[in-house]
Structure 1
Amino acid sequence: MIALKIYVSGIVQGVGYRAFTKRIAQSYGLTGWVKNLPDGRVEVFVQGDKEVVWEFLKQLWEGPPAGRVDRMEILKEVPSHEERDFTIRY
């Protein structure tokens, strides 16, 4: 299992990016969360099988049709046993 925190920059707020991220994560069976940050970025915490998480990252880079990802900062994290699903945080 791998856990990552991802900071996504670009046109990622107000375009359905969080809902897109949740839908993709759930389709892959991943756990974690996604939330908007005050500076316009989106923060994602995701955990799961390494190969599946890397496929998820490719989808995050694509984003929803109305959005545009300019940059993704990816940090390794310690897996959390608290996460049982993938949620949107507010």
Structure 2
Amino acid sequence: MTTQSKKERARLHLIISGRVQGVGFRFSAYDEAKELALAGYVRNLPNGDVEIVAEGSRENLQMLAAWAHLGPPSAHVAEVREEWSDFTGEFTDFQIR
């Protein structure tokens, strides 16, 4: 892997708040991540938020973050917290947990 392609890959941790559980958010996030060729996972948190951890191209991660601000039609997203970090290669595919 070249230094350039390493720079283009990243890890993104999102916490999405609002009406985001019981509205198909995880399944929509899964479809979106698969379409963007990202690896990682999405899961519901006990406090009612949804967490997404994804790795892949920075450009595709930015598209996932933009999608997360909207979510599926039945969701109401109040807040999205984003934390960017270095690509780790921890994941081989994207999963719903």
Partner of 2:65: 57
Partner of 1:47: 55
Q: Give the 5 Å matches for 1:27-46.
A: 27-46=35-54
Give the alignment partner of residue 23 of structure 1, picking from 26, 31, 34.
Answer: 31
Give the alignment partner of residue 82 of structure 2, picking from 74, 87, 90.
Answer: 74
Q: What secondary structure is seen at the aligned counterpart in 1 of 2:69?
A: helix
Partner of 1:85: 93
Unaligned runs of 5+ in 1: none
Give, as a single letter, the amino acid of the residue that structure 2 aligns with 1:80.
T
Q: Is the 8 A contact 2:18 2:78 kept in 1?
A: yes
**Superposition TM-score, scaled by structure 2 size:** 0.87
CA–CA distance in structure 1, aligned partners of residues 85 and 22 of structure 2: 27
Shift of 1:61: 1.2
Q: Aligned pairs, how many?
A: 89
Q: Is the 8 A contact 2:15 2:49 kept in 1?
A: yes
Instruction: From the CA coordinates, give the structure whose radius of gyration is larger.
Output: 2
Give the alignment partner of residue 10 of structure 2, picking from 2, 8, 12.
Answer: 2
Unaligned runs of 5+ in 2: 1-8
Shift of 1:25: 0.3
CA–CA distance in structure 1, aligned partners of residues 46 and 77 of structure 2: 17
Give, as a single letter, the amino acid of the residue that structure 2 aligns with 1:63.
G
CA RMSD of aligned residues (A): 1.0
Question: How high is the sequence identity, in percent, across the aligned residues?
Answer: 34
CA–CA distance in structure 2, aligned partners of residues 82 and 73 of structure 1: 21
**Superposition TM-score, scaled by structure 1 size:** 0.93
